[in-house]
Amino acid sequence: MGLIVAANWKMFKNNKETVEYFDGLKKFEDEFSEVKIVVCPPFTALFKAGEALEGSAYELGAQNLFWENEGAFTGEISPAMLKDNGAKYVLIGHSERRWVMGETDEDINKKMKNAFDNNLIPIFCVGEKIEERKSGDTDKVILDQLRKGLKDIDPKLDEKMIIAYEPVWAIGTGMAATAEDAVAVIDGCILKEMNSRSSTGKSPVPVLYGGSVKEDNIGDFVSRECISGALVGGASLKADSFAALIRAAKKSYA
């Protein structure tokens, strides 16, 4: 499995900033030719981002989608609209959607199904809160999120998705998990569960770590065999420093 670095811009950047960002990041395309780089701008910047990335190996993702394809759903966005603007990936179940916007596992399951139905690659996010970790419930919470999010989804589709393990307490806090903590959950829980779904016993799904990933800690994560890359928020917002982070990841990738 190759290295994957995904950028989640969250609610940042207008069109002008988007164009400037890709002008900057495209300078590093040759250097990063072996890395899968997926950038997830806000919806309003997707069109400009899509234009900027025409002919580029960098790929585009969206930060959310709705579970219906069309209709009277004010404020929602369909998979076809995302694809029309160049998106190939979509974040689903990000902790800010779960805990700030109140998305449930059932909502997330419907979104996963609609992403697959429309050939968008979901980046399915799971992660425990600090209280859950402290009470020793991390694995239980993660398993529950995985099973509910993937309910009634054919395991054959697992090769068309990415999972991101993002402990809620590590996101945007500057307090990343240790690589050991991440391995314990990714290897000991997520991949175990995904392997058990797979007909071969070996899941094809790449698992990323996310939560306060920076240039100086990404190497610790991606040097572990079970971690295929990272989902990066704050540290993805400047093209030059994001490029430095990707370079550090490339150096350490197992």
Nearer to ligand PGA, 73 or 99 (CB): 99
Nearer to ligand PGA, 35 or 195 (CB): 35
Burial class (CB in 10 A: 0-12, 13-18, 19+), 129: middle
Shortest Å distance, C-beta 211 to ligand PGA: 5
* Radius of gyration of the chain, Cα coordinates, nearest whole angstrom: 17
> Rule CB under 6 A: is residue 231 a binding residue for ligand PGA?
yes
How many Cβ atoms are within 10 Å of 84's Cβ, its own excluded? 12
Nearer to ligand PGA, 12 or 151 (CB): 12
The label of the residue with tokens 């020793």 reads 136
Q: Pick the binder of ligand PGA from 5, 52, 115, 171 (CB under 6 A).
A: 171
The rounded distance, in Å, linking the Cα atoms of 46 and 174 is 28
What element of type H or E holds 176?
A: none
How many Cβ atoms are within 10 Å of 82's Cβ, its own excluded? 26
Task: Reply yes or no on whether 31 is catalytic.
Answer: no
Q: Pick the binder of ligand PGA from 4, 8, 22, 28 (CB under 6 A).
A: 8
Position with the least CB separation from ligand PGA: 233
Shortest Å distance, C-beta 249 to ligand PGA: 13
> Rule CB under 6 A: is residue 42 a binding residue for ligand PGA?
no
Helix (H, G, I), strand (E, B) or coil at 38: strand
Token couple for 210? 């996310």
Task: Reply yes or no on whether 96 is catalytic.
Answer: no
Token couple for 125? 């996010």
Residues 197-226 that bind ligand PGA (CB under 6 A): 210-213
Query: Tell me, what amino acid is at 57?
Result: A
Q: Pick the binder of ligand PGA from 24, 42, 155, 172 (CB under 6 A).
A: 172
The rounded distance, in Å, linking the Cα atoms of 62 and 43 is 7
Q: Pick the binder of ligand PGA from 166, 167, 185, 226 (CB under 6 A).
A: 166
Which span sits near ligand PGA by CB under 6 A: 30-38, 196-204, 221-229, 232-240? Answer: 232-240
Q: Crossing angle of helices 105-117/138-149, nearest 10°?
A: 50
Shortest Å distance, C-beta 201 to ligand PGA: 30
Distances (CA, A) of 199 to 58, 109, 151, 184: 32, 21, 17, 24
Q: Binding-site residue total for ligand PGA (CB under 6 A)? A: 13
**Residues classed as catalytic:** 94, 166
Residues at the contact surface with ligand PGA, assessed by CB under 6 A: 8, 166, 171-172, 210-213, 231-235
